[in-house]
Amino acid sequence: MPELTSKNPGVQSRVLLELGTSTSDGEHPVRVTPEVLFGRHCAVLGATGGGKSWTTARLLEECLRFDSKVILLDATGEYRDIADANAAHIHLGSPRVTSAGSSPVWLPAENFTESDFLALFEPSGKVQGPKLKEAIRSLRLAKLEPETFSKGFIEKIGQAKASYGAALSAGANAEKLDDPRQPFDVRLLPEQLEQECVYPEAFGRGPGVKDPTRWGGESGEFSFCIPLTTRIRAVLGSPSLSCVFNRKFATSSVLDEIESFLSGPSRLLRIDLSDVGFEFYAREVVANAIGRQILGLARSGAFYRKPTVAFVDEAHNFLGKRVGSDDFAAKLDAFELVAKEGRKYGLNICLATQRPRDITEGVLSQMGTLIVHRLTNDRDREVVERACGEIDKSSSAFLPSLKQGEAVLIGVDFPIPITIQVAPPTAKPKSDGGQFQSAW
């Protein structure tokens, strides 16, 4: 059974991806159409060192042989050796090693939603969260009415409310303030937070009389917010997030590059995230923001003309996770949403992960094809068994004994699971372990 094509056996498929050779049934080459492989999304699973990254690299190389469109989210930079003329590389921040010709890009803070900021800044206690939300609203208003608020933030302490009230009722401003995508100048958050800690009304003339047209003095709550402003300053200045808050050499944004990739001749766009650190959940939040951009493009119909596959290695970092403090945790759900609704927009996803149990069942059950490398952990194997109802115990029993680069191909379109030896890619991922023999 060398070729696995669409369900229409009479039609000769032009585009076939050669994965390797079958080991269960003679040494046949195994060729699969992208419809079968990616059409209902694909997951590459297996314990560390099993061969997921090599398989991913092989799949990418096979896609590159055709006039394909593939976006690769490279969390660790291990795919930087892909030197195909049809591959474009971009990187965030300043990775230690970049591919030749890779261009620096940045992710403007406008691409973050309110929940991303709440996850990064982790407000805690009863005061910080509400004040942070208030400050974000105020900064949105300041950005909408730059002439009224020339400092970029809204001064409240002891100020008259008239111009604020006028700005609030102008146009559709009031509705925009609660839109989590409405941009604001995040760098002014510490200043604005201080201004939010005021008494709502000033003293009027005479004892006990209030003046509702002015804000009062500082309410003393700011002392509870000082740890928050310290954290905000740390996040804004953190090297892990310099690709977001510090534009440096980048001339274009990730979104611009993805858009020009879609309309240009390149077949693969590799987005290198290796310089985005793990501090403050930066890498997770950044990857999720990029996923959200891709989903936004999908919803606007950008992939109808040419079906596109988004590859995400180390996907357990980016899927089904909640980051931030309990009260204001952000759910990293962009890739989950791509898995759930991308197909109908022409966007498919290929995930590679060493921890299937970390991926929600909702996502795993969306995966039409599984390429399963060696899996030793019982719970991971159970997850795989559950995800593909028809796999019988006997097929999962030998998952722990698969060799490096050997995998079981399981899917709704395959009558029985097939064991294959994946052919090594030409450009090997930089994923070797330490070279003890030569280095010690």
Stretch that binds Mg ion, among 51-59, 153-161, 246-254, 286-294 (CB under 5 A): 51-59
The closest alpha carbon to 284, from 342, 208, 335, 353, belongs to: 335
Nearest to Mg ion of 53, 98 (CB atom): 53
The reply to whether 429 sits near ligand ATP by the rule CB under 6 A is yes
Q: Report the residue from 6, 251, 260, 404 that binds ligand ATP according to the rule CB under 6 A.
A: 404
Q: Per CB under 6 A, does 48 bind ligand ATP?
A: yes
Q: What is the DSSP letter of 218?
A: B
CB 228 within 8 A of CB 236: no
- Contact status, residue 191 vs residue 153, Cβ threshold 8 Å: yes
- Please tell me whether residue 53 binds Mg ion under the rule CB under 5 A: yes
Please give the C-alpha separations between residue 414 and each of 31, 105, 352, 371, 409, in angstroms, as whole numbers. Answer: 12, 41, 20, 12, 8
Q: How many residues bind ligand ATP (CB under 6 A)?
A: 17
Rule CB under 6 A: say whether 217 interacts with ligand ATP: no
Q: Which residue is nearest to ligand ATP (CB)?
A: 405
Interaction mask 53-92, ligand ATP, x per CB under 6 A: xx--------------------------------------
Closest approach of Cβ 260 to Mg ion, in Å? Answer: 29
Q: Which range, of 43-51, 85-93, 135-143, 258-266, touches ligand ATP by CB under 6 A?
A: 43-51
51-62 as b/e, with b when 16 or more CB fall inside 10 Å? Answer: bbbbbbbbbbbb
Mark the segment that binds ligand ATP (CB under 6 A) among 45-53, 267-275, 277-285, 302-310: 45-53
Site string for ligand ATP, 186-205 (x = CB under 6 A): --------------------
In the complex with ligand ATP, the residue whose CB is nearer, 8 or 435, is 435
- Interface stretch with ligand ATP, choices 48-56, 82-90, 173-181, 364-372 (CB under 6 A): 48-56
- What does each C-alpha distance from 226 to 85, 137, 177, 189, 191 come to in angstroms? 52, 19, 24, 12, 11
Select the residue whose beta carbon is closest to Mg ion and give its number: 53
Q: What is the DSSP string of 295-306?
A: HHHHHTTTTSSS
Pick from ligand ATP, Mg ion, none: which does 50 bind, CB < 5 to 8 A by kind?
ligand ATP
Residue 384, Cα to own-chain centre: how many angstroms?
A: 23
Nearer to ligand ATP, 50 or 320 (CB): 50
Phi and psi based region of residue 299 (left: phi greater than 0; alpha: psi -120 to 50; beta: remaining)? alpha
> Is-contact 330 4, C-beta < 8 A?
no
DSSP string over 331-373: EE-HHHHHHHHSGGGTEEEEEEES-GGGS-HHHHTT-SEEEE-
CB atoms within 10 A of CB 317: 21
Single-letter code of the amino acid located at 303: F
Question: Does 356 contact ligand ATP by CB under 6 A?
Answer: no
**What's the min distance (Å) between Cβ of 437 and ligand ATP?**
14
CA angle 87-287-175, nearest 5°? 120
How many Å apart are CA 60 and CA 79, to the nearest integer? 10
Considering the rule CB under 5 A, would residue 274 count as an interface residue with Mg ion?
A: no
Residue number with CB closer to ligand ATP (336 or 406): 406
Among the residue ranges 46-54, 145-153, 198-206, 213-221, the one whose residues contact Mg ion (CB under 5 A)? 46-54
| Pairing state between β 252-253 and 103-106 | parallel
Among residues 46, 129, 324, 417, the one that binds ligand ATP under rule CB under 6 A: 46
Helix spans in 65-179 (H)? 114-121, 125-144, 162-169, 173-176
Residue 52 sits in the site that holds ligand ATP (CB under 6 A): yes
Binding of ligand ATP by 49 (CB under 6 A): yes
Q: Which one of the spans 9-17, 114-122, 220-228, 427-435 is the region binding ligand ATP (CB under 6 A)?
A: 427-435
86, 159, 360, 431: which one contacts ligand ATP (CB under 6 A)? 431
Nearer residue to ligand ATP within complex by CB, 77 or 129: 77
Q: How many whole angstroms separate alpha carbon 32 and alpha carbon 27?
A: 16
* Residue number with CB closer to ligand ATP (39 or 405): 405
Q: Does 405 bind ligand ATP (CB under 6 A)?
A: yes
For residue 26, with 0-12 CB atoms within 10 Å meaning exposed, 13-18 middle and 19 or more buried, which class applies? exposed
What minimum distance in Å lies between the beta carbon of 65 and Mg ion?
Answer: 22
Contact 89, 289 (CB under 8 A): no
Q: From residue 313, give the alpha-carbon distance in Å to each of 20, 231, 256, 271.
A: 20, 30, 23, 11
Binding site for Mg ion (CB under 5 A): 52-53
Q: Which residues here bind ligand ATP, judged by CB under 6 A?
A: 46, 48-54, 354, 373, 404-405, 422, 424, 429, 431-432
